[in-house]
Amino acid sequence: MKRVVIVGGGITGLATAYFAQARARASGQDVEITLVESAPRLGGKILTERVGDFLIEGGPDAFITLKPWAIRLCEQLGLADQLIVPQPGREAFILYRDRLRRLPPGAMGFIPTNFASFWQSDLFSLWGKMRMGLELLVPTQRDGREESLGGFIRRRLGAEPLERLAEPLLAGVYAGDADRLSLSATFPQLAILERQHGGLIRGALAHRRAVKDQRGRPLFMTLQSGLNQLIEALVARLQNVRIITGQSVTELTRGTARRAPTGYHLRLADARALAADAVVLTTPAYVTAKLLELLSAESAELLTRISYVSTAIVTLAFRSSDITHALEGTGFLVPRSEGRELTASTWSSSKWPGRAPAGSVLVRGFFGRAGQEDVLGSNDEALKRLAYEELKSILGFKSEPILARVHRWPKAMPQYEIGHLERLAQLEGALSEHSGLILAGAAYRGIGLPDCIRQAQEAAERIPLSC
């Protein structure tokens, strides 16, 4: 019997167990799978709470549909009829000079493809709009050197779209500094557009024409009862997987037989020992680094170079009559230049059906990004008050919230900084001598739910099941 231990019970670990179980069944192999999670609950950053008739997402509230792996997994788990889309006619906004400005329609991300809407937008100056149009004349960079995401956007489109549109959009994904993030590790498709089409605008227009038959599917989807439905469905399907919660792995070593490496040994916090022929580590890079210190000092050192940013989400509920803003949108993003601690807000009850009872609204405020983490040192009551005051100045609350929740995510957002892909290549080389030791998760090749699910599927395929 092959023994597989998966460390980490977030979406990557659970999906790895699911795919490994399915692969073992399909191949007729006798495999013992154990999943170990240090927290008392499963799901990682996916956390859905039901408070009365309010449905609160403490972490992500949706997944992107351009990457198919999350939708495919939902379909495999029988959740296809539970997928929902944002409520129609909802726009997103950018807070600029203390006013909410509509995101220009007809944009592919932050790339202008509807020139009329960008020209009419009050988000950019006259020069900023002209500079974006000049992108058509910017030469292609072909020297092969690695470029930051911020440097690339500034070179092609100018400073204004970076500072007022792209950086706030990217903060919602990575909570990072665009001038430190690696273009090739975060948005390699942008470099491909430049290389293949000579620029972003030409490339975006060509891409739009190529996929015009796919129009109609919204950019984001979620589940009727929150993303925890996905976690519950996965756990329910892990019938042949032993799950251990509330226990961290304190030591990972490799056994020997006649001086040749064979198998792995894991020690848990309660002193229990597990033996494994293969180990999949889906823990954050800094946790994985500690686990690999005895096996591969080089790998551990490389993992410590992946930095993280902490964030927090404050959810507030109000009576509809106690808020002056119509909330006819999905929310807004806040550029760094605004000088606010608030980085974004999602209007959950306007964006998704079934998130708040009739006569009530539910909004979320986000805090923490690279260079702006000091605010997270405040206690929960102070964060609630800060979220209330910041959102009140924008949305016009007339009373205190009837419900407030704080969800903190310390060191939750891995930063794919310049040199990230090179570090991953070095990491793979350092681990190549350890057969059956596999790393997967948000720290490596994609932080969103679809990317984590894709990495889980790839990890399951790499597990050596045959003798």
pLDDT, tens only, 121-150: 999 999 999 999 999 999 998 777 899 999
Percent of the chain with pLDDT over 90: 84
For the chain, give the mean pLDDT.
Answer: 93
The CATH class given to the 103-212 domain equals mainly alpha
pLDDT at 119: 86
Query: Higher pLDDT residue, 292 or 171?
Result: 292
Q: At what angle do helices 449-462 and 11-27 cross, to 10 degrees?
A: 40
Mean pLDDT score, 179-198: 93
Q: Give the architecture (CATH level 2) of 2-44+226-306+416-462.
A: 3-Layer(bba) Sandwich (3.50)
- pLDDT grade for 260, boundaries at 50, 70 and 90: very low
CB 280 within 8 A of CB 7: yes
- pLDDT grade for 255, boundaries at 50, 70 and 90: confident
Residue 331: pLDDT above 90? yes
Report CA torsion sign: 426, 428, 431, 433.
negative
Cα gap 337→159, rounded to integer Å? 12
79: left (phi over 0), alpha (psi -120 to 50) or beta: alpha
pLDDT, tens only, 356-409: 999 999 999 999 999 999 999 999 999 999 999 999 999 999 999 999 999 999
pLDDT at 68: 95
pLDDT-wise least confident of 223-237, 257-271, 418-432: 257-271
Cα gap 22→37, rounded to integer Å? 21
Q: At what angle do helices 449-462 and 69-76 cross, to 10 degrees?
A: 70
426: left (phi over 0), alpha (psi -120 to 50) or beta: alpha
Cα gap 62→435, rounded to integer Å? 35
pLDDT at 261: 55
Please state the domain extents for the chain: 2-44+226-306+416-462, 103-212, 308-414
pLDDT at 314: 98
pLDDT at 88: 87
Cα gap 173→360, rounded to integer Å? 28
Residue 105: pLDDT above 60? yes
pLDDT, tens only, 198-230: 999 998 888 766 554 445 578 899 999 999 999
Q: At what angle do helices 149-157 and 188-197 cross, to 10 degrees?
A: 40
pLDDT, tens only, 167-187: 998 888 899 999 999 999 999
pLDDT at 332: 96
- pLDDT grade for 108, boundaries at 50, 70 and 90: low
pLDDT at 212: 47
pLDDT at 106: 65
Residue 257: pLDDT above 60? no
Q: Nearest Cα to 48, choosing from 215, 230, 184, 258?
A: 230
Reading the block at residue 80, the tokens are 């296809």
Cα gap 434→436, rounded to integer Å? 6
Report how far Cα 219 is from the mean position of its chain's Cα atoms. Answer: 15
What CATH number does domain 308-414 carry, 3.40.50.300, 3.90.660.20, 3.10.310.30, 3.40.50.12370? 3.90.660.20
Name the β-bridge partners of 51. 54
